[in-house]
Structure 1
Amino acid sequence: MPDTPPTVTAPPLPPLTAQAERLIELGVHELVRIPADELRAFAEGAGSESGDALLAVHPDRLPASALAPLLRRDDKPGFVVVDMTDVDQFAPSGVELPGTPLYLVTAPDRGDHMANWSPDEALPALTEDGRTPLLLTEGIHWLLQQLAVLDRNHCFMTIGSRLRKANGELDARTPAIWISNGTGRDGRERRGAPKIGWCWWGNRHTWLGFASAVGRTAL
């Protein structure tokens, strides 16, 4: 494996009750058509105050294209790159989700120690460590709760989401979230904004880790 930089510890998550209020503040409950009180009740019933659980909405109920604009950095909304119009077709691959609208992602990690690895190298290593790669929607939910996780030169891929082509093969792209430099088709006005893009499955990037979790649970 290639040499890797030291891990930078991401900040802990807020309590689940605070996460629910954050989603309500953003209007997520309205997008999903779940009453605010139901969202609050789920968070209260889950009861984690340890900072290691993330409240997420099932991607079938709220896709990445709807979540991305809710991100804000330097007062600029998140966006999906123009050549990823099929972003919502990137579905869970090798990942089992609870069959509920709301669920918890346990102990998310940015995967800094795998920076400069390719997805092809990182996936088996995550599996061997007993971890599961994050979905793109889970990565966005994480940033909605703790934007400081998205740090320039310490961003991440979400290789739990893959696109399966009509012939049954997996598309060579893998989703990632990083910070726009405002170049090219991004536009200067988007410099510093959260950016949903993609990387090739076999390529390495020194500034992208591999976000993962211990697991997923529902109440």
Structure 2
Amino acid sequence: MPETTPGPSTVLTAPPALSAQAERLIELGVHETAGLSAEEIRTFAARAEAGADGPGALLAVHPDRAPASALAPLLRRDGKPGFVVVDMPDVDEFAPSALALPDAPLYLVHGIDRGDHMANWSPDEALPALTKEDRTPLVLTEGIHWVLQQPEALERNLCFMTIGSRLRKPNGSFDARTPAIWISNGTGRDGRERRNAPKVGWCWWNNRHTWLGFASTTGRRG
């Protein structure tokens, strides 16, 4: 396992209040994608905000309702929209792996950490370490929701993988690609016009990257 500095990620401020997150999703039209009314999202956020689970939580829409392909273009950085790499046309087939999401269209994600201290680890090395810490990795749509609500969660050289999402092959094994969210350099098939845009891409399960941590959570609640 690579050497690393112990401790949590660079400290980020807590996500906005749940009521503000609800308005952000409505402004972006996520409620329509999810087949929900604006009032349903506002009511869920208000009830959660009034309870013990509210402070510091991220409001997420279940990926069955709002898939990554629909959410990624809503990301913005330097005025440029987010995108999914061209060699990931099956992005929505990357499903939650070895974890259970709440059986509800809307749910809360608690205690998010970007996993900066695991930069230069491979997913294969990071997953057991997260499990030992009683944390579970974010799924891709949760990572996108986080950056939608808190764009500063995505920084150059401090981006993150979302290894809670995996693609299972017909033979039962996992595809070696694992999803990540980072910032495009505008090279290759991304195109120069996409330089500095938020990017949903993938890395190999056994590869290490110095600029990618492993985003995780302490728990989820519907």
Would you say same fold, with TM above 0.5?
Answer: yes
CA contact (8 A) 1:11 1:149 kept: no
Structure 1 residue corresponding to 2:209, chosen from 197, 205, 212: 205
Match of 2:115 among 93, 108, 111: 111
Q: Residue 49 of structure 1: CA displacement?
A: 5.3
> SS of the residue aligned with 1:113?
helix
Gap regions ≥5 residues in structure 2: none
Give the match's secondary structure for 1:176. strand
Runs of 4+ in 1 over 4 A off after TM superposition: none
1:61 correspondence with 2:65 = yes
1:95 matched to which residue of 2?
Answer: 99
Deviations 1:65-89 (A, max 9, x none): 0000000101100000000000000
Q: In the alignment, residue 17 of structure 1 is paired with which amino acid?
A: S
Specify which of 176, 181, 191 is matched with residue 177 of structure 1. 181
Aligned-pair identity in percent equals 73
The CA distance in 2 between the partners of 1:4 and 1:189, in whole Å, is 35
Instruction: Report the number of matched residues.
Output: 217
* Mapping 1:17-166, distance limit 5 Å: 17-47=19-49, 50=55, 52-166=56-170
| Residues 16 and 55, structure 1, Cα contact 8 Å, conserved in 2 | yes
Q: CA deviation at 1:32?
A: 1.0
Aligned AA (1:65): S
Map of 1:217 onto structure 2:
221
Supply the distance in 2 between the matched residues of 1:200 and 1:179 (Cα, whole angstroms).
Answer: 17
Q: Is the 8 A contact 1:179 1:192 kept in 2?
A: yes
Give the root-mean-square deviation of aligned CA atoms: 1.0
Is 1:2 aligned to residue 2 of structure 2?
yes
Where does structure 1 lack aligned partners over 5 or more consecutive residues? none
2:18 corresponds, among 5, 9, 16, to 16
Query: AA paired with 1:181?
Result: N
Give the whole-Å Cα distance in 1 for the aligned partners of 2:102 and 2:69: 21
Distance apart, 1:3 and its partner CA: 2.1
TM-score by structure 2 length?
0.96
Shift of 1:5: 5.3
The whole-number CA distance in structure 2 between the counterparts of 1:43 and 1:211 is: 23
